[in-house]
Structure formats: structure tokens, C-alpha cells
Amino acid sequence: MTSSEERHVPVMLQRCLDLLAPALQEPGAVVVDCTLGLGGHSQAMLDAFPEVSLIALDRDPQALKLAGERLADYGDRATLVHAVYDELPDVLDRLGRPRVQGVLFDLGVSSMQLDEADRGFAYAQDAPLDMRMDQSTGVSAAEVLNTYPPGELVRVLRSYGEEKQARRIVEAVVRERQKEPFRNSARLVEVIREALPQAAKRTGGNPAKRTFQALRIEVNGELAVLERAVPAAVDALAVGGRIAVLSYHSLEDRLVKQVFAAGAASTAPPGLPVVPERYLPRLRLLTRGAELPSEEEVARNRRAAPARLRGAERVREVVKE
């Protein structure tokens, strides 16, 4: 096993640092890395802002162990917590940090999870169909494939993989699981290949990509977690605090966009001559739409290709009526 530094190239790193910088230069600033992974973004923030304190969350115990080794030299500047990122309010409450100056999300599956064959995230290599980010809890991808009713499997593939051929794939999966339960990824990839029409196999990269994405999101409850986590992170920001979110597919990015847009909009009824403060926006958008990685970065790190970055700044507290 190589070191975490060698195995993980943080995506859009300098741009994330630039977005967060004005908030993290505040005296006593606290930044939360909601998706620690192998610690690349966290280490860069600790280095770039020598006075900042870090709280880092991850649901994957193996990632926490490796990142903990990487960040050991930073001592009590770095607090690592085993938690899913929608647990952020509880974590901050336990640590006595109700308000923070920065929050970073680097969503999706980590480099470590993709590279460890026995995790089952990657369709390019044969592995047990697990896909749990925390292997100590929840149902595996194999259990989803082998036990979900056909209609529910179609919903998962359509909703989370945006798979147009969902019904055709599910029909093939149901036929095959009656012969023998699914256990490994290679068999699923082959079933998908055989189920798809030739035209569908000629576009969009590996034909199993969307199905694997859908299963991973279902197994880890990723969109439901994100739907709770991003508003909670905005609520945790002090005035002047900043949030940056890296998404890797349109479902994540759309959800982040909606939360940021709602926070940056006035909620005043139309026609008011003077808008009361409670109706004013509480966020200011820092990015025009979603920013993309440069061609140079994608050439260096192919995993950056689908990245979409959005940022926002907290500009006022919510006024209670």
C-alpha cells in the first residue's frame, strides 16, 4: 500500500483554497472538511492557513486511519471524527463549535475506495460487490441487486444513474439472479453489456458506469445525506464564512445549486416598498455557475474531469421573527 499522499491528488485544490481564503484568515478560524478521504484538501488548508483549526469528517474508518497518519504532525490543530457529513450539527455541538468560518465538501467516491479492489466501487476490475463507504454498517450493492424488487431497481437506476436503459438492465439482472446471486462486479458488468443495444454501448464510456453510480448512491444514501448536509453546513457558517462544494455528477451539483440559489435569493413578497431584513439573502454566490477544472488539471489527473465547483459566502444571520 502506498502512502496517502501518493494515492490521492486533490481536485481543483488551489481554487478551493482561493475561495475559502478570505474566511480562513480570520483569527481563530475553524474549517470543516466534511469529506476527509485521504486528507489532501485538509493538509493543504492546514499548510496554507497556519492559524486555522481543522475538523474533518469521514464515514470510512480506513480513510480516517490513513489520513490520521498523514495529519499527525499537525497535532491538536486537526480533529478527525468518524461521522457521515449530515451529522455535522451534532459533531460541532459535541466539540463546542457552533459556528465555523469554512466548510469544504469533496463529494463522490474517494481515490482510496476506487483503488482498493475489494471495495467493489470500480467497474474496471473484478471485486466483491460491496460499495459501502463504511463497511461496518448498511447493505451492500450485492444485497441491493439480489433482493430489491424489479420496480425498485428500475427506480434506483433511473433516479441515481440517469440510466435510460434501466428496465432492460433490470430484466437481465432479475433473470441472472434467479440462476445465481450476484457477488462480484465482473459478472454484473458482463450482464449489462449483453443487455444493452449496440447503439447504447457506443456512447458515454463504459456501459456499466451509470449502473455502478446508481448502486453506490443507493447503498450509501448519498443524495439523501447531501440534501440534509449542505443546508446544515450553511447554517453552521458564521457571517463572513465560506463554503465550497466539489460535485462529480449532475444530481449532486443540481442539489448544491438549489441550496445555494435559495440562500442567495430574497424571500420578500413582491411589491414591498422596503424589504425587511428577514427577507434579505443570507448567501452571496462566489462562483458564476459551476466552475470546471482546467484542461491541464484533467490531463494530469483524469479523476478531475467530471468535477464541478460551487462556492458561497454567508452574508447575514437569519433574523427571527
Q: Mark the binding-site residues for S-adenosyl-L-methionine, compressed into ranges.
A: 39-41, 58, 85, 106, 113
| Residues paired with 5 in a beta bridge | none
CB atoms within 10 A of CB 223: 16
| Residues paired with 79 in a beta bridge | 55
Write out the three cell numbers for 257: 445549486
The single residue listed with the C-alpha cell 444530481 is 251
Burial of 318 (0-12, 13-18, 19+ CB in 10 A): exposed
Residues annotated in the binding site, as ranges? 39-41, 58, 85, 106, 113
**Residue 227: CB partners within 8 Å, gap ≥ 6?**
255
- Residue 158, SS3? helix
CB 91 within 8 A of CB 55: yes
Residue 7 CA to residue 111 CA, distance in Å, equals: 7
Give the CA angle between residues 209, 214, 106 to the nearest 5°: 85
Q: If we measure between CA atoms, which residue out of 319, 260, 316 comes closest to residue 290?
A: 260
Q: How far apart are the first and last CA of the chain?
A: 56
Residue 212 CA to residue 204 CA, distance in Å, equals: 14
Sign for the pseudo-dihedral over CA of 118, 119, 120, 123: negative
Sign for the pseudo-dihedral over CA of 96, 99, 102, 108: positive
Burial of 22 (0-12, 13-18, 19+ CB in 10 A): middle
